[in-house]
Chains A and B, each alone.
Chain A
Amino acid sequence: MRTLDLLVLVAFLVYIVWDGARRGRNVHDAKDYLLAGRRMRWWSMGLSVMATQASAITLISTTGQGFRDGMKFLHFYLAVPFAMVVLCATVVPWFHRSGVFTAYEWLERRFDRSTRLLASVIFLVSRALAVGTVLYAPSVVLASGLGIPQWQSITAMGLLCTLYTCIGGATAVIVTDAKQMLVMMLGIFACIGVAWWKLPDDVGIGGVLEMAGASGKLDTFHWPTTWREALADKYNLLSGLLGGFFLFLGYFGADQEQVQRYLAGSSVEQSRKSLLVSGFAKVPMQFVILLLGVLVWGHYAFRPEPAFFRAPQLEAMLLKQAEHGTPEEQAEGERLRGELSILQERHDALQEQRRLAAADFATAREGGAEAGAAVLADPLARLRAADRALAALRLEGPKLLAAAGVSKPGATDSDYVFTHFLRTEVPVGLAGLVLAAIFAAAMSSLVAPLNSLATSSVLDVWALIRRTPATQAEVVRASRIATLAWGALATIAAFWMGDIPIIEQVNRIGSVVYGSMFGVFILGRLVPRARGSVGAWSMASGILVVVAVGELSKRPEVQRDIAGWFGAAARDAWVPVTIEFMWFNLIGFAVVMGVGWLLSRFSAPPAPAAQA
């Protein structure tokens, strides 16, 4: 790593830890430590909400998705503005006016303690599973980009984040998140500037967009043609606007990680406005990040790229094996080196075809041809064909990595595009800023779950099982100890994270529970007769059905057996069907509402005072 980059990065890390830790001076009671004294303004909470959601995964993996698949991932976020408005009209005033510290406390007031405990345990387990992934992501940058072993980066990141969250509490989280979000945006725009600047003069950003459009990478508005496609394809208008709508309702409305950010607002208006920041800025931000991936793709259409972006790592590993391995390992290494060499040759031939097509396109464009002109059609068609062949060939890389034991089967190469670009193309000093942006993203999305995991485990579990009420000082002390414990657990979990497509993994874990968790809040408001343990039973039913649907979706033979009960016609017409995780949120929500309404029919009508 270059000295100037290292200096920029270290200065940023030291400032963030100092800035977070000094907020501990203002902690006098539980409200100060857990809800920042309810003094926060909308813009700092709004940036914190965005920073919490935008992790290092967002920067690293989303640019990779832009490079590989183009901008279709944007469908995922299309429902954010609509979900935010619904939350502003519902849970934000409910939580704020009831004065709760956690979303699940509201459930105890409306239903019973079992509902609160179930929701908080689901949150604790699902968030604990995800927090390891969030910490693992930046280690990708360090291991791949800086030559530092992953265990060192995981340990350093885990320690720093735990330290300032433990000392400064929610104020530290929100204040540093806001600054980290600004650094993150600065880093993204710096990378876009570099990618743009490095494009050939006769192409420019307009030319790259035409090339990307011709290669099918700019499909930001895809309406599915069949219901099967709508269910099986993650990124289309229906799954984004319907499935994504319930995903974001659940994530921002029932996940304590986000609820705790806007509960720190000084009024309902401040809390509402903080959520609307994401409503306005989330889609444009994701557009810009995906556009960066597309620009990087355009950059490599004119310049050499490795057969796959972890090839240098594989080469280093094979070299080490050749020097120090057993005879069997050396023989296997020799075989893999041969395969790598063949793969690189096939890749280089295809890349040359793509480069020639791109160069022909640039020449025709410089000659005055405008978008859509016939003279551009031939180079664009050749470009698209070569690009598709390259994309198919790039799948071979992870297989070699898996055979060499470098990564697990099923790993994607696209998560490493951004780090390769950063290492090889971004100028010194600016690379330090971009690294700081990646660390900002990683830290902001780690400290919020640490803070909320500590809050929920102390208030929703520890305080409930105590025989005597806890004092303010005891709650603060217990929350600090819980922050330390969750930080240690996150660090250990990060060591066990697989080499899997990381952004989808995080969303997948959430989608199993979010719809059901949000459903029980709406059930509590819309169905007055649903009381007591009806909340817990409805939520459990929703999650169980989602798990069953997820498993069934992966097993066509079981689907055929079940559909066979309704006759051959039904079997042929309806199965096999694949349901992507985006839809799990809607399914969970619908089941909770249905089961909750049914169970409430067996309950006595509520006394007026019992209604929330």
Chain B
Amino acid sequence: MSETNDDDAAGEARSRQAMARALAWGVLTLALLWWFARSYAF
């Protein structure tokens, strides 16, 4: 039982890390697209 709980806790921590990275990626994407649009504006 405790093994399962440890697995759950570790999985939860890994999930939170992946979610934080996805959020950071979303913001970075916006910054990259801003740079792209600005670089090729007429």
Of the A-B pairs whose beta carbons lie under 8 Å apart in the complex, a sample of 9, sorted by A's number, is A78-B26, A218-B36, A219-B37, A221-B36, A268-B11, A269-B11, A279-B26, A280-B25, A284-B29
Contact A272 B40 (CB under 8 A): no
Residues of A within 8 A of B36 (CB): 218, 220-221
Residues of B within 8 A of A85 (CB): 19, 22-23, 26
A321 at the A/B interface (Cβ < 8 Å)? Answer: no
Residues of B1-42 contacting chain A, CB below 8 A:
11-12, 14-15, 18-19, 22-23, 25-26, 29-30, 33-34, 36-42
Known: A85-B23, A216-B42, A276-B22. A221 touches B33 (CB 8 A): yes
Considering the chains assembled together, what is the distance between the CA atoms of A221 and B34 in angstroms? 5
Contact A269 B22 (CB under 8 A): no
Residues of A268-303 contacting chain B, CB below 8 A:
268-269, 272-273, 276, 279-280, 283-284
Residues of A within 8 A of B42 (CB): 213-216, 380, 384
Considering the chains assembled together, what is the distance between the CA atoms of A267 and B9 in angstroms? 12
A217 and chain B: residue at smallest CB distance? B40
Known: A78-B30, A280-B25. A209 touches B40 (CB 8 A): yes
A92 and chain B: residue at smallest CB distance? B15
Contact A84 B22 (CB under 8 A): yes
Contact B33 A81 (CB under 8 A): no
Residues of A within 8 A of B18 (CB): 88, 272-273, 276
Residues of A within 8 A of B12 (CB): 268-269
Chain A residues engaging chain B, CB cutoff 8 angstroms: 74, 78, 80-82, 84-85, 88-89, 209-210, 212-216, 218-222, 267-269, 272-273, 276, 279-280, 283-284, 380, 384
User: How many contacts between A and B, using CB within 8 angstroms?
Assistant: 74
A223 and chain B: residue at smallest CB distance? B34
Known: A213-B40, A269-B14, A380-B42. A276 touches B23 (CB 8 A): no
Considering the chains assembled together, what is the distance between the CA atoms of A325 and B37 in angstroms? 52
Main secondary structure of the interface of A (DSSP, over half): helix
Residues of B within 8 A of A380 (CB): 42
A84 and chain B: residue at smallest CB distance? B22
Considering the chains assembled together, what is the distance between the CA atoms of A209 and B39 in angstroms? 10
| Smallest beta-carbon distance B22→chain A, Å | 4
Contact B23 A213 (CB under 8 A): no
Considering the chains assembled together, what is the distance between the CA atoms of A85 and B18 in angstroms? 9
Chain B residues engaging chain A, CB cutoff 8 angstroms: 11-12, 14-15, 18-19, 22-23, 25-26, 29-30, 33-34, 36-42
Known: A78-B29, A214-B42. A268 touches B22 (CB 8 A): no
Residues of B within 8 A of A273 (CB): 15, 18
Residues of B within 8 A of A213 (CB): 39-42
Partner of B15, one of A80, A81, A272: A272
| Smallest beta-carbon distance B13→chain A, Å | 9
B20 and chain A: residue at smallest CB distance? A85
Considering the chains assembled together, what is the distance between the CA atoms of A284 and B29 in angstroms? 9
| Smallest beta-carbon distance B24→chain A, Å | 9
Residues of B within 8 A of A215 (CB): 42
Considering the chains assembled together, what is the distance between the CA atoms of A272 and B40 in angstroms? 36
Contact A81 B40 (CB under 8 A): no
Partner of A88, one of B19, B30, B37: B19
Considering the chains assembled together, what is the distance between the CA atoms of A428 and B37 in angstroms? 35
| Smallest beta-carbon distance B39→chain A, Å | 8
Residues of B within 8 A of A209 (CB): 40
Contact B40 A82 (CB under 8 A): no
Considering the chains assembled together, what is the distance between the CA atoms of A222 and B30 in angstroms? 11
Considering the chains assembled together, what is the distance between the CA atoms of A89 and B18 in angstroms? 11
Considering the chains assembled together, what is the distance between the CA atoms of A276 and B36 in angstroms? 24
| Smallest beta-carbon distance B12→chain A, Å | 7
Partner of A89, one of B19, B33, B34, B38: B19
Known: A78-B30, A81-B29, A219-B37. A267 touches B11 (CB 8 A): yes
A380 and chain B: residue at smallest CB distance? B42
Considering the chains assembled together, what is the distance between the CA atoms of A319 and B35 in angstroms? 51
| Smallest beta-carbon distance A58→chain B, Å | 18
Residues of A within 8 A of B26 (CB): 78, 80-82, 85, 279
Considering the chains assembled together, what is the distance between the CA atoms of A284 and B36 in angstroms? 13
B41 and chain A: residue at smallest CB distance? A213
Q: Which of B11, B22, B33, B41 has the most CB of A within 10 A?
A: B22
Contact B37 A218 (CB under 8 A): yes
Contact A81 B37 (CB under 8 A): no
Considering the chains assembled together, what is the distance between the CA atoms of A384 and B42 in angstroms? 10
Residues of B within 8 A of A283 (CB): 29
| Smallest beta-carbon distance A166→chain B, Å | 34
Considering the chains assembled together, what is the distance between the CA atoms of A215 and B41 in angstroms? 9
Residues of A within 8 A of B11 (CB): 267-269
Contact A268 B15 (CB under 8 A): yes
Considering the chains assembled together, what is the distance between the CA atoms of A273 and B12 in angstroms? 11
Considering the chains assembled together, what is the distance between the CA atoms of A279 and B41 in angstroms? 27
| Smallest beta-carbon distance A365→chain B, Å | 14
Known: A220-B36, A280-B22. A269 touches B15 (CB 8 A): yes
B31 and chain A: residue at smallest CB distance? A221
Considering the chains assembled together, what is the distance between the CA atoms of A279 and B15 in angstroms? 13
Partner of B22, one of A212, A218, A267, A279: A279
Considering the chains assembled together, what is the distance between the CA atoms of A269 and B9 in angstroms? 10
B23 and chain A: residue at smallest CB distance? A85
| Smallest beta-carbon distance B3→chain A, Å | 14
Residues of B within 8 A of A222 (CB): 37
Contact B22 A81 (CB under 8 A): yes
Residues of B within 8 A of A220 (CB): 33, 36-37
Contact A82 B23 (CB under 8 A): yes
